Amino acid sequence: MQETQRPIGFLLRTLDRLLEERFDEALERHRLSRRQWQLLNVLADTQATVAQLDEAIAPLLDDGAEETSERHLEPLLGGGLVAEKGGVYRLTDLGRMELHGARDTVHGLRAQTVRGLEDGEYERTLRALQAMIDNLSV
């Protein structure tokens, strides 16, 4: 008997949930939240104000709750990972070290996620998903 193929929406929601769970677990080892991880990555490349950080991670902030980067920066400041001067935030040396370790953990998770895929299959999947998004965005 042939197994019924699950609908794409079911598969995408399941994958999204598993990615969120595993990513949160991986970052928890570094005492970081998902938003803190994203802020550290932005600050690894540049110094920024809250407004600039909000813009950089805008798709990930909850507009309905008027969420900003500021509340996610507080623990990073308290932990010495980020410093602030005149409203401009930057990564500290400790922050760079923590980010480096967290990146290693995340790279391991990403490798686990794509294990068993043939060369180019991940990129083809991304292109196919983007095409579907584009088709439904008209």
Give me the CATH number covering residue 66.
1.10.10.10
Percentage of residues in the chain having pLDDT higher than 70: 98
Q: Is residue 46 domain-resident?
A: yes
Give the model confidence (pLDDT) of 71-86 as tens digits: 899 999 999 999 999 9
User: How many distinct structural domains can be found in the chain?
Assistant: 1
Q: Is residue 13 domain-resident?
A: yes
> What DSSP letter does each residue of the chain carry, written as one string?
-PPPPPPHHHHHHHHHHHHHHHHHHHHHTTT--HHHHHHHHHHHH--B-HHHHHHHTGGGS-TTTT--SHHHHHHHHHTTSEEEETTEEEE-HHHHHHHHHHHHHHHHHHHHHHTTPPTTHHHHHHHHHHHHHHHHT-
Give the model confidence (pLDDT) of 92-132 as tens digits: 999 999 999 999 999 999 999 999 999 999 999 999 999 99
Domain that holds residue 43: 8-136
